[in-house]
Chains A and B, each alone.
Chain A
Amino acid sequence: MLDCRDLKKIYTNGGEETVVLKGISLSIKKSEFVAIMGPSGSGKSTLMHILGCLDTPTSGTYTIDGQDASKLSDEALADIRVKKIGFVFQAFNLLPRATVLRNVMLPLVYARLAPDKREELAKQALRAAAFPEEFWHHRSNQLSGGMMQRVAIARALVNNPAMILADEPTGNLDTKTGETVLAAFQKLHREQGRTIILITHEPYIAKHAERILYLRDGNLVRDEPSSL
């Protein structure tokens, strides 16, 4: 479902060039669960931003569902994001004063879905993310880290995206809550067949994926099935 050929990303700051991605080619099939690993600064987040249509590569091509996304305008990229992609971040990035339900409904607002249809979809997403119902009307800043991340997963899920991208989703959580969040991802993968791309530093998390990509200094150095 997505395919990249010779992706390069070069940042230029005051005449000085930083080559962050040095020519990455890979393809990911529908319903795959892929983990991306690699040392800090190796370009994992940068790659994920391009795959998630938050950014465009300096050179190379990137196609998602047969559509070339490497040279689109900001507005066209936003369109792809709202329809096809859900993001989960390390820092949760919830609206602190809004309720859980409202946080989950936010992508539907930008997808211009009629207000009366939003709540039902949000509830479905919260159930799929295994978020306990008694907290649906709590403000999101009253939740624990593990629960916040499950709200973020529900939010990523709510507009029924083909692909969910998660950048170190367990990075701010202890091992035990990390496991519950991971379980939520696995459930989505197994029961709903969603494509999941997950960045992590923890080998035990990566093991839950079907396939692991290793980056080093902007190069894809290894691409292998998970040992589990």
Chain B
Amino acid sequence: MTITDIFQETTMALGTNKVRSGLTMLGIVIGISSVIAMVSIGQGAQGAIQSSIQGLGSNLLTIIPGILQPGRGIVSSGRGAAQTLKNDDVSALRSVQGVASVSPELNRRFQITSSAGNNTNSTVIGVSPEYLTVRNVTIENGSFITDLHFNSLSRVAVLGPTAAQDLFGDADPIGKTIRINQMNVQIIGVLQAKGSAGFFNPDDTVFVPLTMMQRILAGVDYLSTIAVSVEHKDLMPQVKDEATSVLAAKHRVDPQNPDFSIVSQSDILGTLTAVTNTFTIFLASIAGISLLVGGIGIMNMMLTTVTERTREIGLRKAIGAKKRDITQQFLAEAVTLTFLGGAIGILLGWMISLAVSRFANIATNVSFSSVAMAFGVSAAIGIIFGYYPARRAASLNPIAALRYE
């Protein structure tokens, strides 16, 4: 049998009972499209997290108070409660070889009111001028906090774009005042948007000089984070070790068991990638169950077909068909069903993922590899679930088959 012969036989056989073929195929369509859609949601989440973490600044070490529980990822145990990071840690870190800049930070959530009368509950971060380079942010309008503001405890603020929008709408906020915790602060600049990191929106923030934040707004002397930018990516492990021993000596704690943690971008990325991979696999395996059910549907239909066409199979064998010819014919029918189902399923899954990102605002990503995998899986399902019925057809005894009523 040539490929054309098999193709003709297959279209004729599947066309004989279009409704049944269509319904059986629907099982595969649903299975494949849900796998595609689910994987696209998982991969979309992964992509979004990766790009926003990379956007937070490359070559970045983040030092936070407290200890990271192994196995619990970056869940910071008592980030607010621990008060181990102090201002003089910053100068110690500056002296470490390979450190480019150090950005001490203190954040708190405050209720903020604008002169326009709008309210927002945003994160207020007290920063030094280094924040701009260390955290890789860009000024859209106006200026950032300068050394002068820092040294003189100026009551000035720079707004993240979301906070600016919430407080002032489309009006230009520069020169206007806002009230943070009953205190008037003047706006001197607005940042460019960075995009949401999924868990925390870096655009919904208000920046003030760290000195002013510590002494006037919060009334504390500790830091919530110290961000350290390293001169070169290759120096990261070395700087991390050095910084650990410098800080441990300063805090008089055992470097093996310090009262702070140093996290690099790759640590965060690794943890989150592991999390999103698990999430993707979980979604895909749920969708995979419906694919399995679709495959069983194919097998069921093929077994019915073989029974119905027993006489036809007997006739084919009587006029000279070999086992291989019959196997090929029925296998081709099953594979055609799953392949068509797979193709339609990929299109449908793609449309679902577009709809999800459009209407539910969740990042999705239909990757080439997931499409290729879907094609492979649907062909494999056709072969696996079509093989048994096809072998059954091929091994029918021609005389018994011709007698079959």
Contact = CB atoms under 8 A, between A and B. Distances in A.
Contact of A93 (B12, B311, B323): B311
Nearest to A110: B320
Nearest to B322: A78
A54 B321 CA distance: 12
Nearest to B312: A95
Interface in A57-114: 74-75, 78-79, 81-83, 86-87, 89, 91, 93, 95, 97-98, 102, 106-107, 109-112
Contact of A97 (B16, B322, B398): B16
Contact of B320 (A78, A93, A102, A115): A78
A227 B322 CA distance: 41
Given A98-B12, A110-B316, A115-B4, A78 B399 contact: no
A90 to B, nearest CB: 10
A155 B323 CA distance: 20
Contacts of B399: 49, 54-55
Nearest to A83: B320
A75, A87, A91, A155 interface centre (most CB from chain B within 10 Å): A87
A45 B5 CA distance: 32
Contact of A109 (B5, B311, B314, B402): B5
Contacts, number: 58
B320 A81 contact: yes
B315 A93 contact: yes
A85 B371 CA distance: 49
A91 B12 CA distance: 21
B268 interface: no
Interface in B352-405: 398-399, 402
Interface in A127-144: none
B240 interface: no
B325 to A, nearest CB: 6
A82 B319 contact: yes
Contacts of B319: 81-82, 86-87, 106-107, 110, 155
Sorting the interface of chain B by its residue count into under 10, 10 to 19, 20 to 34 or 35 or more gives: 20 to 34
Nearest to A93: B315
Given A95-B312, A115-B2, A115-B5, A74 B402 contact: no
Contact of A107 (B5, B8, B320): B320
A115 B314 CA distance: 23
Contacts of A54: 318, 398-399
A109 B317 CA distance: 12
Given A74-B323, A93-B402, A87 B5 contact: no
Nearest to B321: A110
Interface string A147-176: 000000001000100000000000000000
| Interface magnitude class on chain A | 20 to 34
B1 interface: yes
A54 B320 CA distance: 10
Interface in A19-67: 49, 52, 54-55
Contacts of A75: 322-323
A159 B315 CA distance: 15
A81 B4 contact: no
Nearest to B8: A102
Contacts of B314: 93
Contacts of A82: 319-320
A76 B284 CA distance: 48
A78 B5 contact: no
B185 to A, nearest CB: 83
Contacts of B317: 78
B1 A109 contact: yes
Contacts of B318: 52, 54, 81, 87
Given A89-B402, A110-B1, A115-B2, A97 B12 contact: yes
B320 A111 contact: yes
Interface in B84-140: none
Contacts of B321: 78, 110
Contacts of A112: 1
Contacts of B320: 78-79, 81-83, 107, 110-111, 159
Most chain B Cβ neighbours within 10 Å, of A52, A93, A98, A155: A93
Contacts of B4: 115
Contacts of A79: 320
A97 B12 CA distance: 7
B14 to A, nearest CB: 11
Interface in B11-33: 12, 15-16
A69 to B, nearest CB: 14
B402 A110 contact: no
A45 to B, nearest CB: 8
B368 to A, nearest CB: 36
A88 B195 CA distance: 77
A162 B84 CA distance: 101
B131 to A, nearest CB: 75
A54 B315 CA distance: 11
A180 to B, nearest CB: 23
B314 to A, nearest CB: 8
Interface of A: 49, 52, 54-55, 74-75, 78-79, 81-83, 86-87, 89, 91, 93, 95, 97-98, 102, 106-107, 109-112, 115, 155, 159
**Which are the 9 A-B pairs with shortest beta-carbon distances?**
A82-B320, A110-B320, A93-B315, A107-B319, A110-B321, A81-B320, A87-B318, A78-B322, A109-B5
Given A87-B319, A110-B322, 14 more contacts: A55-B399, A75-B323, A78-B317, A93-B312, A93-B402, A97-B15, A106-B316, A109-B1, A109-B5, A110-B1, A110-B316, A110-B320, A111-B320, A112-B1
10 contacts: A54-B318, A54-B398, A79-B320, A82-B319, A89-B315, A89-B402, A93-B312, A97-B16, A109-B1, A110-B319
